[in-house]
Structure 1
């Protein structure tokens, strides 16, 4: 009987043996795709039953709707009553990105034992663990996306598989790849070789972008709360049942991130359009007939806004300055590197926001509704200017704070220390 027991040394060897990288990374991509997909399909079934108690159609119809919503979050677009709808519900995209990050981090942690260790990586040994894991993760995710798009396709929906693949590549590069690198520990090793100025600039970029997106969302929510009565009136015009009203609220919630990015473009000055020949900006508001969509109740009244509205355009540079100041405070860098990190990080944050604003728009119906979204070229210029200048001012604030602290403690400034330091003889005398 004792011969059937596993020896302790064999058990330790099995525990130390790393799991197959191909299986871990591919399965991680598959699970990252299936998690949000299964939830949305379940919501689709609940919605199918809640609308008419299952009198019309079958449960697979609700599952198909959930799959189409998941595909729409990956840029597939859908055809509704012959009209092409390409605007992406960014809340669905955010859920998919969160799932990618969580599973990607777990994949990275599971494959951390593969490849060379930290010392050999530092010595310059090639390490293909993270790139291989990223490719396999993408392969697993892409297979699920293609299968779902094929099964959900039909004459009434027609999701675009190339667009889904393009968004999958983008999300893998921006979300899954960093998650795998962080989870595997490689990101910390690579960051150690990065100049301090670059690390500080990256911290500024992340802080400015997060803060500006949050402020834009808060401004939108305040505007929607002020016009909540109009939003409720829009919903009542559809005469929905309580269950249908709840589902309609979920549909609107899926586009709240889009509306927040629209608001950020409005705060920057260029504004956005809600259909052809329309303009919503701090200087003028020109609108036409609008669909019955409660989020549109937050739009300002047609005409020239009040004078105080233009003062809100000071928010983007102010937010950038405060965020850069908080990100750079306490970093032991010379004044020129602090300024470079602040300005460079602000420019990167402005560029990133403009990219997100460009992804937030699209077609929402036929005719004049074929374009809804920010005016992207103008947003690029205004975002990079506002965030770059604001972050530079925040960095200048850190420089002044450091010099004041040095004077209080009787320490010489960096420039003074460099000027008073005796010159050294190259020969060492």
Structure 2
């Protein structure tokens, strides 16, 4: 009996050699700080290298670092007020990279600490979002200048939303809480995601075709900006960061409302109005004449194709007890509506302004784009879900 009692552990007593698990909130804060600092250092190093290789001198190290910090803040919904007006246009590729890093941070903390409940998972999300937002505000204060004032309110809201949503998604996936969702909610989410990825892939294809058809215009724009090979690399990197923005604009064109590059340039299936645009090589994809290009007419199939992908995904993933083809078609209508809502949100995120006056509006209109995609994708998704469900049930 004495030997048995000796082997029993007292409250708060750990076994010899047992490793103490780190506190989830502290570990989450450290992970968020690591993602924020490493992403900022990587972006800053890239800008510094490009500027250092410019034989004409380029920006000094301090100026390059400040520029990298401003890009980092813009990617998260921040705004920079220049003498020409407010600049609010997030490079979405950088936004996606930051979201992936923050999501991985949340997943890593859950895996290391073996968290399962909703309350500790919420603590991890709060720690990641709070730490990331605090570091972003400190950076905003550091790069704020009289000629380039940082909108700290936009920085706080944007960083809090990005970090909260990204880390929350990672925590939900790793903790298994997604498995507790009722009914066809999980298949519905997968269907919307599949339709969105299909729409973005088709939008990128449209941009690639438009650039390939006017490769001479791209080269002319690049040459007109002058500079060395390092400057060309910098411009190419900037265009790459803005590629998702261009893909979302292409979705707006495919849906019908089109997109604008300032008040003087509007491209839609109903007509083309050309005006002065910034000397960015990516804008060589714009039409050269007032005539609506053939690509714009062909692109009108994009919302329907995205809806078919969403519907087929939904029909294949519904459970055996979740109804037949008619029920799947109704869920398909909802999937198409959610896909339209997501595209509208993306259009809002991908657009913005490049100053006052002529460039105060850039991108596709969010509300009309979302409604147009929802109407077209909803019908296609209902048909795709019904057919896929009928085939899966045999």
TM-score (norm 2): 0.90
Note the alpha carbon deviations across 1:139-185, whole angstroms, 9 max, x for none. Answer: 11112111111111111221211111111122123211110222233
Aligned residue pairs total: 380
CA contact 1:109–1:180 (8 Å) conserved in 2: no
Give the aligned partner of residue 181 of structure 1: 172
Indicate yes or no: 2:272 matched with 1:285: yes
Q: Tell me which of 381, 395, 418 is aligned to 2:385.
A: 395
Alignment gaps of 5+ in structure 2:
1-8
Q: Unpaired runs of 5+ in structure 1?
A: 1-8, 122-126, 406-429
Shift of 1:396: 1.8
Structure 1 residue aligned with 2:120, among 129, 133, 140?
129
After the TM superposition, which residues 193-342 of structure 1 pair with which residues of structure 2 at under 5 Å, given as runs? 194-195=182-183, 197-305=184-292, 309-329=296-316, 331=318, 332=320, 333-335=322-324, 336-342=326-332
| Residues 285 and 301 in structure 1, CA contact (< 8 A), matched pair in contact too | no
4+ residue segments displaced more than 6 Å: none
Q: Return closer, same or farther for 1:271/1:47 CA change in 2, 3 Å cut-off.
A: same
Residues 13 and 72 of structure 1: is their aligned pair in 2 closer, same or farther, counting only changes over 3 Å? Answer: farther
The residue number in structure 1 matching 2:63 is: 61
Distance 2:66 2:16 in 1: 47
Tell whether the 8 Å contact from 2:93 to 2:242 is kept in structure 1 after alignment.
yes
Paired position in structure 2 for 1:166: 157
8 Å CA contact 2:310–2:335 kept in 1: the answer is no
Name the CA distance, whole Å, in 1 between partners of 2:227 and 2:59: 19
Larger radius of gyration: 1
Contact 1:345–1:388 (8 Å) recurs in 2: yes
| Partner of residue 139, structure 1 | 130
CA-atom RMSD, angstroms?
2.3
Per the normalisation by structure 1, the TM-score is 0.83
Hey, what's the Cα distance between the residues in 2 that align with 1:292 and 1:57?
20
CA contact (8 A) 2:261 2:359 kept: yes
Residue 91 of structure 1 corresponds to 93
For residues 75-131 of structure 1, give each alpha carbon's deviation from its aligned partner in whole angstroms, at most 9, with x where no partner exists. Answer: 222244543211111111111111111212112212324xxx6xxx6xxxxx41111
Deviations 1:176-202 (A, max 9, x none): 1110222233333x23xx11x222222
Q: Secondary structure at the residue paired with 2:190?
A: helix
Tell me the CA shift for residue 52 of structure 1. Answer: 4.1
